[in-house]
């Protein structure tokens, strides 16, 4: 399942997903399973009856657990032999390096994301069909990648033998067994718009992104997050004065694809379920820094409870909690990155500076410079 062509397509689609899911929109009313309610601009993002609903803070716990699992899986895939001489480990490392983000890629992300938003905004009807088809494909792939190692382990690797597939290269037999199951799951979501299936598919997309894209330096991470910071501010706060509507919120609530984690509001009133949600981009973009922090701790032999990973995770939770508090109190659309970027980047830089490692971390793991008393090989 490491075909470079499939991976390249998947990454392109994941970038589009991140572009369309940046807005932090809460309290979305579900009058019918098939359609999200869209408010008027300026968009209220939480039901007036919800106030500070416990679900707002449950979002923080869910996002943190997803990031913890995603970072751990990106570091060491389940049941994989990661010893230096392992063929599996070398193949995984080669695939991971192929998805390594460069400095220029961060600028391309903002350009592609902005163009995607504008196209979807102006051509919502046509683009929503195209995006839905693309997401049905990528969600099937991501769901298969999520469960593959567990099924492979459970079946005792009986279906691990690879066969050569035209245009895709060698593919394990298990891929063809899982593919129909994943397609059925996606089609079930498509026809029912079940919020539980939505969350499963969104979760698989997040994990797929975090395990496919890699940051190797603080320089690249800072560029990506700072650009995302201003990207969020522009499309949430400024776009309405240029385009007549809030482009980010219109796209995020208009696209009926699994680009958000939905959590039912516990204190909402009314016949229909109401949800608070967090966009895929608000998890995966800070999540790339979380993954980098965990790999840095692992390379240095630092306990993850005391290293970069811990401070970045704490900062993420604090930033998202503040965002949830503002959303639940004032009921307005919030660009979560204005809280998440400082919440994750500042603690990371502070720890690097306090340890005297800022110059080396800025260049990253691949620099092979000495950090303290230890060499940093790529894990």
Give CA angle at 12 (100, 183), nearest 5°: 115
Q: Which of 282, 298, 360, 373 is an active site residue?
A: 282
Which stretch of DSSP H or E encloses residue 262?
strand 260-264
Token code pair at residue 255: 């696209």
Q: Quick check: is 81 catalytic?
A: no
In this structure, what DSSP letter does residue 40 have? P
Residue 356, SS3 per DSSP:
coil
Residue 302, SS3 per DSSP:
coil
Instruction: Name the pairing type of β-strands 169-172 and 274-279.
Output: unpaired
Q: Quick check: is 303 catalytic?
A: no
Q: Which of 53, 232, 297, 360 is an active site residue?
A: 232
370: left (phi over 0), alpha (psi -120 to 50) or beta: beta
86 Cβ neighbours under 8 A, 6+ residues apart: 80
Closest by Cα among 210, 91, 186, 196 to 134: 186
CA-based radius of gyration for the chain: 20
Catalytic center residues? 232, 282
């Amino acid at each position: 399942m490491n075909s470079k062509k499939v991976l390249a397509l998947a990454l392109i689609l994941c970038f589009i997903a991140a572009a369309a899911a940046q807005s932090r929109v809460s309290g979305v009313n579900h009058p019918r399973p098939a359609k999200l309610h869209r408010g008027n601009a300026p968009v209220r993002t939480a039901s007036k009856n919800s106030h500070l609903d416990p679900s707002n803070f449950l979002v923080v716990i869910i996002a943190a657990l997803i990031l913890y699992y995603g970072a751990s899986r990106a570091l060491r895939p389940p049941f994989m032999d990661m010893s230096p001489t392992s063929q599996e480990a070398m193949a995984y490392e080669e695939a991971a390096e192929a998805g390594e983000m460069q400095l220029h890629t961060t600028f391309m992300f903002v350009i592609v994301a902005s163009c995607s938003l504008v196209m979807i905004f102006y051509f919502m009807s046509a683009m929503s069909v195209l995006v839905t088809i693309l997401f049905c494909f990528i969600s099937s792939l991501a769901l298969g990648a999520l469960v593959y190692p567990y099924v492979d382990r459970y079946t005792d690797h009986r279906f691990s033998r690879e066969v050569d597939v035209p245009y895709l290269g060698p593919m394990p037999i298990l891929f063809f067994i899982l593919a129909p199951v994943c397609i059925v799951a996606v089609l079930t979501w498509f026809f029912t718009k079940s919020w539980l299936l939505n969350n499963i598919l969104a979760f698989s997309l997040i994990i797929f992104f975090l395990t496919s894209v890699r940051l190797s330096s603080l320089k690249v991470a800072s560029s990506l997050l700072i650009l995302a910071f201003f990207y969020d501010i522009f499309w949430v706060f400024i776009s309405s004065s240029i385009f007549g509507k809030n482009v980010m919120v219109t796209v995020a609530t208009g696209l009926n694809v699994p680009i958000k984690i939905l959590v039912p509001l516990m204190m909402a009133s009314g016949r229909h379920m109401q949800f608070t949600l967090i966009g895929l981009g608000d998890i995966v973009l800070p999540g790339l820094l979380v993954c980098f922090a965990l790999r840095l701790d692992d390379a240095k032999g630092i306990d993850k409870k005391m290293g970069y990973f811990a401070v970045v995770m704490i900062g993420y939770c604090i930033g998202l909690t503040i965002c949830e508090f503002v959303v639940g109190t004032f009921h307005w659309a919030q660009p979560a990155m204005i809280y998440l970027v400082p919440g994750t980047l500042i603690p990371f830089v502070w720890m690097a500076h306090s340890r005297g490692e800022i110059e080396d971390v800025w260049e990253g793991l691949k620099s092979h410079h000495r950090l303290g008393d230890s060499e940093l090989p790529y894990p």
